[in-house]
């Protein structure tokens, strides 16, 4: 049993971000895509900041898990995916839902538990789902949805639809059995599926290195399933977009699954109740300096985009978030009746009671 | 004596057990440095070291499987699964191995481990974080299943569970962790598993419950009293083994029973209690036994929680109906 320094959290070195890869400015990504990603980054950021404000006003009920700081991953993938591709996300799923085009008002209303929410106020923050947008659910049981994504990928293969299933999950998730089952299944069946590990360096409150056999929880396991290790900067939308494009094309071409590890950091705590104090100050501030949004702003300016264009996008997003908030607040609370609906195919639950 | 809430009482019990017996280990997600999601294991890692208060990866099947092996090897693991909804990946280990190894080994060895599972509604997080699936554990031969509802019981029953030669599923009502405080003696104490607790004596109707529902049931008894109905309230605290004698004696006296639980109705443990009572004292009953339960639906979000969970009014109404028969 390890009793060495691995367990001494005080001696643990902070995990600092790598510097920005400035060569990515020259990547072959057209400006419209980039501006779209810029807008998306802002949508995810401003939406979640608003959600947090509403929580402080006691309007968002229950727990929720924010992706603040991690938006580049959902953004990069959202931009690279086809509208009919499948997304499977976790309880930390607001960003992925919005990145697939879930209506912001309906999403906000769902967080508020209102009847006009995307799930009628029955799913809440942890279960955002919108089948019409290919957002096939947010799953709050660690690892479960990786296997599910395989099944959806299999169906796409059988229907020859060319769709790809993408499963997003955390670093901690690489240590549960379902992760390993899912990767092996995808590999032996050569399924059109992409596994995306959002490595934010923490499994809840525990640093991932303390509980993981390899330094890179996903990339370090890829070879066990005959896959290439793919490690990308999860705070750079361009890096994520390029990795996504490659993996999606590979899946669509029938060349099987990919496993991508996108290294990132959440700027806040694990969930609403968590101030995140277990993280070294130096680590938190270093990552704050690698926030994807100011970096991308600089990159777009460097590519010749006028400041006015970027600030217009920011204003437009701010308006959209305000509108979404008003829409959400205007919604009614679901009545007692909604408790008993949709348990069985007949639409109810009554025959059992 | 010190005033303790349930979370503190459990922490005290673990502290005593770790101090007394070097075979005791605590394991679970975030239980070490952080003290667990509910901070129930706070400070234990500092006192007993990382080899005995173990931060595990997210891997419930692994946690219980390893715990099982530790128990087989002579250790006394106390495992924490963060929420009942996360215990299902470990259910296979529990049902197929932990519960059966005594029988399968023809009594040559057993798995005397304790699995602590915070459970039940009231924190506004829906589904996996709120549900009460005790019946999936009471259904399994070989397991003991207990649910303390007071700090004294939490401490005494956890120490009894650690001493127990059989595997114990130790359910902790999340809503009560910090809601109930009382004086609890310092030092080692055990509350035997399998004894119900008569929480309030009464003559007209027996209200039977466990876990967080003890609070609402107690409140219902007060409402009933205002209407001239004297309700006896019994907290089962141990579902398996079940203290059917105490229940039978009470219902024989009152002739009426209402069973209250927050789990869904169909196949809930209340059905088992009702069946046993009618086997034992059908002819003493003046009215059919009634159940007041959560609904047969998915545990909802915070806004609908109060519609789902039985409240004092719903319990009192059922008891009043039973009285009118
Ligand atoms: C099977 C299961 N066990 C435990 C939990 C509780 N839990 C919720 S999030 C989490 C940590 C997951 O960490 P990671 O995969 O890194 O995702 P992150 O939250 O960092 O995005 C845990 C243990 C759960 N949801 N499911
Ligand atoms: Mg993580």
Per-residue model confidence as pLDDT tens digits over A316-337: 999 999 999 999 999 999 988 8
Give me the CATH number covering residue A158.
Answer: 3.40.50.970
* A331 CB near ligand 1 (under 6 Å): no
Identify the residue whose C-alpha is closest to ligand 1 atom 13.
A203
Q: Which residue of A has its CA nearest to B121?
A: A62
Using the mean position of ligand 2's atoms as its centre, give its distance from the Cα of residue A263 in Å: 10
Query: What distance in Å separates residue A346's CA from the closest CA in chain B?
Result: 14
Q: Of chain A residues 261-290, which have a CB less than 8 A from chain B?
A: 278
Q: Would residue B148 be called left, alpha or beta, if left means φ above 0 and alpha means ψ between -120 and 50 degrees?
A: beta
Is A10 a domain residue? no
Whether residue A33 is contained in a domain is answered as no
State the Cα–Cα distance between residues A226 and A302, nearest whole angstrom: 39
Q: Are B48 and A3 in contact (CB under 8 A)?
A: no
**pLDDT at residue A3 above 80?**
no
**Token pair of B4, please?**
């303790």
What is the pTM assigned to this prediction?
A: 0.95
Strand order in the sheet with A135-139: A135-139, A86-90, A165-170, A193-199, A258-263, A230-233
Interface of B with A (CB under 8 A): 29-30, 32-34, 37, 49-51, 55-62, 85-86, 88-89, 123-129, 265-266, 295-298, 300-304, 307-308
Given the structure tokens 């590999």, which residue do they identify? A187
**pLDDT digit string, tens, across residues B125-138:** 889 999 999 999 99
- Contact flag A140-B34 (C-beta cutoff 8 Å): no
Output the pLDDT for position A10.
66
> How far away is chain A from the Cα of B314, in angstroms, using its nearest Cα?
14
| B172 alpha carbon, distance to own chain's centre | 6
Residue A27 domain-assigned (yes or no): no
**Domain count across chain A:** 1
List pLDDT tens digits, range B176-214. Answer: 999 999 999 999 999 999 999 999 999 999 999 999 999
- Dump pLDDT digits (tens) for A277-295: 999 999 999 999 999 999 9
- Please indicate, yes or no, if residue A347 is contained in any of the structural domains: no
Q: Which residues from chain B sit within 8 angstroms of residue A205, using beta carbons?
A: 30, 33-34
The answer to whether residue B86 scores a pLDDT higher than 60 is yes
Residues in chain B: 325
Please provide the DSSP assignment of B69-111 as one string: HHHHTT-EEEEE-SSGGGSGGGHHHIIIIITTHHHHTTTS---
Residue A7 binned pLDDT confidence (cut-offs 50, 70, 90): low
Tell which atom from ligand 1 comes closest to the C-alpha of A141.
26
Nearest to A210 by CA among A182, A171, A180, A170: A171
Structural domain that includes position A229? 38-332
Would you give the distance in Å from CA B143 to the centre of its chain? 13
Chain A residues with beta carbon closer than 8 angstroms to that of B298? 343
Which two tokens mark B229?
């109905």
pLDDT by residue (tens digit) across A131-167?
Answer: 999 999 999 999 999 999 999 999 999 999 999 999 9
Least CA distance to B29: which residue of chain A? Answer: A206
Between CA B297 and CA B287 the distance in angstroms is 28
Tokens of B41: 């294991």
Which of B225, A280, B227 is CA-nearest to residue A288? A280
CA separation for the pair A8, B49 (Å, rounded) = 10
DSSP per residue over B125-179, as a string? --GGGT---HHHHHTSTT-EEE---SHHHHHHHHHHHHH-SS-EEEEEEGGGTTT
A108: left (phi over 0), alpha (psi -120 to 50) or beta: alpha
Over residues A298-315, the pLDDT tens digits come to 999 999 999 999 999 999
Whether A352 is covered by a domain: the verdict is no
* Residue B73 Rama label (left phi>0; alpha psi -120 to 50; beta): alpha
Residue B125 pLDDT = 84
Work out the minimum CA distance from B123 to partner chain A, whole angstroms: 7
User: What confidence category does residue B124 fall into, taking pLDDT thresholds of 50, 70 and 90?
Assistant: confident
Residues B37-50: pLDDT tens digits? Answer: 999 999 999 999 99
Pairing of strands A206-207, A202-203: antiparallel
Coil vs helix vs strand at A263:
strand
CATH 3.40.50.920-classified regions of chain B:
197-324
Residues measured by CB to lie within 5 Å of ligand 2, the ion: A 170-172, 200, 202
pLDDT of residue A6: 44
Q: A141 and B128: CB-CB below 8 Å?
A: yes
Asked whether the beta carbons of A183 and A173 are under 8 A apart, the reply is no
Neighbour tally for B155: CB within 10 Å: 28
* Residue B306 annotated as catalytic: no
CA of A198 to the centre of ligand 2 (A): 7
3-state helix, strand, coil in chain B (%, to 5): 40, 20, 35
CATH assignment of B197-324, among 3.20.20.140, 3.40.50.920, 3.40.50.11540, 3.10.450.50? 3.40.50.920
The angle formed by the CA atoms of residues A218, A220 and A224, to the nearest 5 degrees, is 95
As given in the structure block, the two tokens for residue A271 are 């969930």
Separation of alpha carbons B203 and A11, rounded Å: 63
Q: What pLDDT, in 10s, does the model give residues A166-208?
A: 999 999 999 999 999 999 999 999 999 999 999 999 999 999 9
Average pLDDT over residues B69-93: 97
Q: How far is the CA of A145 from the centre of ligand 1 (A)?
A: 13
Q: For residues B39-67, give the mean pLDDT.
A: 96
φ/ψ region of A64 (left if φ > 0, alpha if ψ in -120 to 50, else beta) reads: beta
DSSP 8-class letter at A224: G
Instruction: Report the DSSP pairing between strands B257-264 and B290-294.
Output: parallel
DSSP secondary structure letters along B248-284: HHHHHHHS-EEEEEEEESTT-HHHHHHHHHHHHHGGG
The per-residue pLDDT for range B285-324, each reduced to its tens digit, is 999 999 999 999 999 998 889 999 999 999 999 999 999 9
Closest listed residue to residue A278, CA positions, set A170, A206, A201: A206
Q: Do the Cβ atoms of A349 and B86 come within 8 Å?
A: no
Residue whose C-alpha is closest to residue A143's, from A178, A94, A190: A178
**DSSP secondary structure string for all residues of A4-15:** SGGG-GGGPPP-
Interface of A with B in 226-255 (CB under 8 A): none
Judge whether A206 lies within some domain. Answer: yes
Tokens of B198: 């008569």
Residue A220: CB atoms within 10 A of its CB come to 16
| H-run or E-run covering B197 | strand B197-200
Computed over every residue of chain A, the mean pLDDT equals 94
CA distance A341 to chain B (A): 8
**pLDDT, tens digit, 9 for 90 and up, residues A64-73:** 999 999 999 9
Q: Which residue has the tokens 């405080």?
A: B181
Distance CA A111, CA A244 (A): 28
**Which atom of ligand 1 sits closest to the CA of residue A65?**
19
Residues from chain A that touch B35, judged by Cβ atoms under 8 A, are none
- The pLDDT of residue A209 is 92
Looking at residue A11, its pLDDT comes to 64
For chain B, give every residue range classified as CATH 3.40.50.970.
2-184
Q: Is the pLDDT of residue A42 over 80?
A: yes
Q: Does A137 map to a domain?
A: yes
Of A281, A287, A308, A283, nearest in space to A297 by CA: A308
Q: Which sign, positive or negative, has the C-alpha torsion B155, B159, B162, B168?
A: negative
A1 pLDDT higher than 60: no
Q: For residue range A198-234, list pLDDT tens digits in order.
A: 999 999 999 999 999 999 999 999 999 999 999 999 9
Q: Is the CB of A142 under 6 A from ligand 1?
A: yes
Computed over every residue of chain B, the mean pLDDT equals 97
Tell me how far CA of residue A331 lies from CA of A48, A56, A120, A277, in angstroms.
Answer: 19, 19, 10, 36
Q: Cβ separation of A339 and B307 shorter than 8 Å?
A: yes
* Under 8 Å between Cβ of B31 and B80: yes
At the topology level, CATH places domain B2-184 in Rossmann fold (3.40.50)
Instruction: Tell me how far the alpha carbon of residue B210 is from its chain's centroid.
Output: 7
Query: Annotated catalytic residue: which of B97, B128, B129, B307?
Result: B129
């Amino acid at each position: 049993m390890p009793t060495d320094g691995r367990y001494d959290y005080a001696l643990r070195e902070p995990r600092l971000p790598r510097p920005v890869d400035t060569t990515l400015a020259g990547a072959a990504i057209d400006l419209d895509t980039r501006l779209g990603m810029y807008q998306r980054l802002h949508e995810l950021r401003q939406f979640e900041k608003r959600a947090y404000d509403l929580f402080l006003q006691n309007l968002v009920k229950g727990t929720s898990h924010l992706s603040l700081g991690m938006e580049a991953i959902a953004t990069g993938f959202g931009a690279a995916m086809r509208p009919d591709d499948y997304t499977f996300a976790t309880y930390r799923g607001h960003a992925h839902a919005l990145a697939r085009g879930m209506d912001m008002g309906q999403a906000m209303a769902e967080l508020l538990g209102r009847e006009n929410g995307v799930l009628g106020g029955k799913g809440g923050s942890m279960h955002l789902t919108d089948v019409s947008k290919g957002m096939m659910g947010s799953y709050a049981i660690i690892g479960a949805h990786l296997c599910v994504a395989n099944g959806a990928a299999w169906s796409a293969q059988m229907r020859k639809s060319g769709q790809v299933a993408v499963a997003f999950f955390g670093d901690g998730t690489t240590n549960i059995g379902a992760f390993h089952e899912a990767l092996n299944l995808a590999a032996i069946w050569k399924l059109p599926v992409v596994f995306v590990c959002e490595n934010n360096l923490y499994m809840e409150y525990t640093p991932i290195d303390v509980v993981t056999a390899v330094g890179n929880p996903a990339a370090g396991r890829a070879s066990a399933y005959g896959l290439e290790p793919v490690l990308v900067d999860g705070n750079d939308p361009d890096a994520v977009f390029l990795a996504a494009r490659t993996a999606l094309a590979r899946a669509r071409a029938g060349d099987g699954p990919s496993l991508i590890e996108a290294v990132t950091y959440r700027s806040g705590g694990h969930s609403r109740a968590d101030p995140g104090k277990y993280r070294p100050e130096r680590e938190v501030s270093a990552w704050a300096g690698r926030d994807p949004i100011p970096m991308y702003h600089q990159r777009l300016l460097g590519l010749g985009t006028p400041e006015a264009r970027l600030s217009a996008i920011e204003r437009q997003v701010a308006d959209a978030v305000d509108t979404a908030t008003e829409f959400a607040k205007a919604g009614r609370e679901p009545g007692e009746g909604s408790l008993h609906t949709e348990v069985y195919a007949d639409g109810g639950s009554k025959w059992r009671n | 004596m010190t005033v303790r809430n349930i979370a503190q009482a459990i922490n005290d019990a673990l502290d005593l057990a770790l101090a007394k017996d070097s075979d005791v280990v605590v394991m679970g997600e975030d239980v070490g440095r952080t003290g667990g999601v509910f901070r129930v294991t706070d400070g234990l890692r500092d006192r007993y070291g990382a080899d005995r208060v173990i931060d595990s990866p997210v891997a419930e099947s692994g946690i219980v499987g390893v715990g099982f092996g530790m128990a087989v090897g002579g250790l006394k693991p106390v495992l924490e699964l963060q929420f009942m909804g996360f215990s299902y990946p470990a259910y296979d280990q529990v049902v197929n191995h932990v519960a059966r190894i005594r029988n399968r080994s023809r009594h040559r060895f057993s798995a005397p481990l304790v699995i602590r599972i915070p459970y039940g509604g009231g924190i506004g997080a829906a589904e996996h974080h709120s549900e009460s699936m005790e019946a999936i554990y009471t259904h399994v031969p070989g397991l003991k299943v207990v649910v303390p509802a007071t700090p004294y019981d939490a401490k005494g029953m956890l120490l009894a569970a650690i001493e127990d030669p059989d595997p114990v599923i130790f359910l902790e009502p999340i809503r009560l962790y910090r809601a109930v405080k009382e004086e609890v003696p310092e030092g080692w104490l055990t509350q035997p598993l399998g004894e119900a607790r008569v929480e309030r004596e009464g003559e007209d109707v027996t209200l039977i419950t466990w876990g967080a529902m003890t609070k609402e049931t107690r409140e219902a008894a007060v409402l009933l009293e205002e209407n001239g109905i004297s309700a006896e309230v019994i907290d089962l605290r141990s579902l398996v083994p079940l203290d059917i004698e105490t229940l039978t004696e009470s219902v024989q006296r009152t002739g009426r029973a209402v069973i209250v639980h927050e789990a869904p109705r169909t196949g809930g443990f209340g059905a088992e209690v009702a069946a046993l009572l009618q086997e034992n004292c059908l002819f003493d009953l003046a009215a059919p036994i009634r159940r007041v339960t959560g609904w047969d639906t998915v545990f909802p979000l915070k806004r609908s929680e109060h519609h789902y969970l039985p409240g004092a009014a719903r319990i009192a109404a059922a008891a009043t109906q039973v009285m009118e028969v």
